[in-house]
Amino acid sequence: MLRIIDSRTGEPVDATPARRGLTRVEAQVAGYDATALRVLLVTDVLVRALELGGTPVWSVLTAERDHSELRAGAAALGIRPFEDSRDVGTGMGEAQVIHVVREGGAMTAGPCVAVEPVTGSAEGADPAVLRLALTSRRRGLPVHLDEAALNDAHDTLVRWRRAVAVWAREPSRPVPEEVRGELRAAWEDDLDVPGVLRVLRRVETSDLPAGARFETYAYADRLLGLELARDLGAFA
């Protein structure tokens, strides 16, 4: 079961509702900047994690300004579209609301997920590279985007996409239950995406059959949203 640290109390809480119904995940930002994009990205990962656990979810963007820039930036990062306002869906049987905010931002009633700021510049970076760079640290730690961080994310993404394309040429094999359990344990622990990435790094050089490694990466990518299977068929 997915548990998150509620920034209001510092205590872990269940992210899945106690009663059946929709969960609304609301991203709250002031305007467009790199930290706002990280807030939207954490929201997207939270939505994906809830869906993987079988919880119906809808996401909402609340911003004081720069609505079009925020939506364009989110789309470039592969973030699923947000609803237009927090009022959409009134009466849809929501079981709970989870807010995702910048660290130090206004806290509201209900579980609140705080995201540390981003410093540095990612101007001109490939969106998928930026997505990986921003998710390579836990949301409770600040991110500094520099040439080294972006180069590392770029090299990792290129290597993994090529490996996935090569593994896909072999007979498919199921994700080993132990590995599946490790992946879920990581992301269900307060959205520990770096923990998910560590599992993938270990699988990358393991002696698992190629087909099992392919399915493992495809499964994890449902959370990561990195399009790891994008280059299928590109390598002979």
For residue 2, is pLDDT > 80? yes
- The arrangement of secondary structure in 3-115, i.e. its CATH architecture, is 3-Layer(aba) Sandwich (3.40)
Please give the structure tokens belonging to residue 101: 């905010």
Q: What is the DSSP string of 74-106?
A: HHHTTPPPPBS-TTTTTTS-EEEEEEEEETTSP
Rounded mean pLDDT, 148-174: 96
Q: What is the pTM of this model?
A: 0.93
pLDDT tens digit sequence for 38-73: 999 999 999 999 999 999 999 999 999 999 999 999
Extents of the domains making up the chain: 3-115, 126-138+145-236
Q: b/e map of 197-206 (b: 16 or more CB within 10 Å)? A: bebbeebbee
pLDDT of residue 108: 74
pLDDT of residue 92: 58
For residue 132, is pLDDT > 70? yes
**Amino acid symbol at 181:** G
Whole-number Å distance between alpha carbons of 174 and 7: 37
Whole-number Å distance between alpha carbons of 165 and 197: 18
